[in-house]
Amino acid sequence: MATTYKGTVKEINALNVYIKLIRSAESLSSRINSMFVKKNITISQFAILDVLFNLGPLSQKELGKKILRSGGNITMVIDNLEKQGLVERERNMEDRRFFIIHLTKKGKKIFEGIFPLFLTAVVKEFSVLSDKEQIEFQRMCKLIGLKD
């Protein structure tokens, strides 16, 4: 679907790129999320497990920055992961106001079971693009993402 806005070519092109980018991202996210629903985990929970698996223990604030989520949202996601026994909170001894979040053995096992399914799904989704197109798409996304 394209914009129906009647403006300059530059405005119409920008709106059309935005519409297509957002619609494709939401469509992709919906397909990937359906895989997570089957595994009884949310995309935010998976993102937290991924960060902890690959980077090790972090504070809630650091986790929020890594997965681009607000403090309140991170707290809720970590609460739910903790209830499932997938992460543990440890009070930071240097600053007792903060907690360091650790991946549990169960959390590591769950992540190791889900990641290959996630990877397969992502590879399949992006198989519509050649390797060269994927690299170019990464470059363009980075340009947009890092713009001030």
Q: Let me know if domain 41-146 sits in CATH 1.10.10.10.
A: yes
Per the CB < 8 A criterion, the answer to whether 52 and 103 are in contact is yes
Indicate the domain borders of the chain: 1-38, 41-146
Q: Read off the pLDDT band of 29 (50, 70, 90).
A: very high
Residue % of the chain over a pLDDT of 70: 100
Residue 73's pLDDT is 83
Is the pLDDT score of 17 beyond 90?
A: yes
pLDDT tens figures, 74-114: 889 999 999 999 999 998 777 777 789 999 999 999 999 99
- The predicted model scores a pTM of 0.84
Query: What is the per-residue DSSP string for the chain?
Result: --------HHHHHHHHHHHHHHHHHHHHHHHHHHHHHHTT--HHHHHHHHHHHHH--EEHHHHHHHHT--HHHHHHHHHHHHHTTSEEEEE-SSSTT-EEEEE-HHHHHHHHHHHHHHHHHHHHHGGGS-HHHHHHHHHHHHHHHH--
pLDDT tens figures, 97-106: 778 999 999 9
Residue in the block written with tokens 């690959």:
54
